[in-house]
Amino acid sequence: MQNEKVSDTTTMKDKVVMVTGANSGIGKSASLALAEKGATVVMVARNKERGDAARSEIVRKSGNNSIDLLLADLSSLESVRQLVAEFRKKYSKLHVLINNAGLFNQRRRVTADGYENTFATNYLAPFLLTNLQLDLLKASAPSRIINVSSVGHYNGHINFDDLNLEKEYGDGRPMDNPN
């Protein structure tokens, strides 16, 4: 396989991109870079005010008005389903899905769905979002799915006997109070 270098003349005109966690950090930087390349960028954020501020900044810096903001709480599987439904009302194509949103809580929290919040947001949400958008991604080919991660995996492990982290959380010590 040859190394491919993306040139500064690469265009994303007529391409639709969805970026989760798009109001800050890597998600915001990716959204700006893709907007500068001419993509229609659908930013996904949890907080409307921060999402609107990031969207306005990206429009101003890129000169691209084809930047949309959709709100979703990715810790909620129902919110992920609503996100996809809202996206599909507006867009008939999806060329790139960037699963970037992620978090780690210092204390264990349980979502409305009954899952540990970090697990729901970092694993279940991108899995569900990708699967719900897979047919659209295939129909829009060539398309890409990009999953962003952190170095947190160096210290992490998956305990398949305690996926919901009811026995231990964070540093691996048993929990005094699992909720």
pTM: 0.85
d(C-alpha 123, C-alpha 35), whole Å: 27
> Using an 8 Å Cβ cutoff, are 39 and 17 in contact?
yes
pLDDT (tens digit, 9 = 90+) per residue, 20-49?
999 999 999 999 999 999 999 999 999 999
C-alpha 134, offset from chain centre: 15
Domain spanning 16-154: which superfamily?
NAD(P)-binding Rossmann-like Domain (3.40.50.720)
d(C-alpha 146, C-alpha 97), whole Å: 6
Segment 140-169 shows an average pLDDT of 78
pLDDT (tens digit, 9 = 90+) per residue, 74-107?
999 999 999 999 999 999 999 999 999 988 777 8
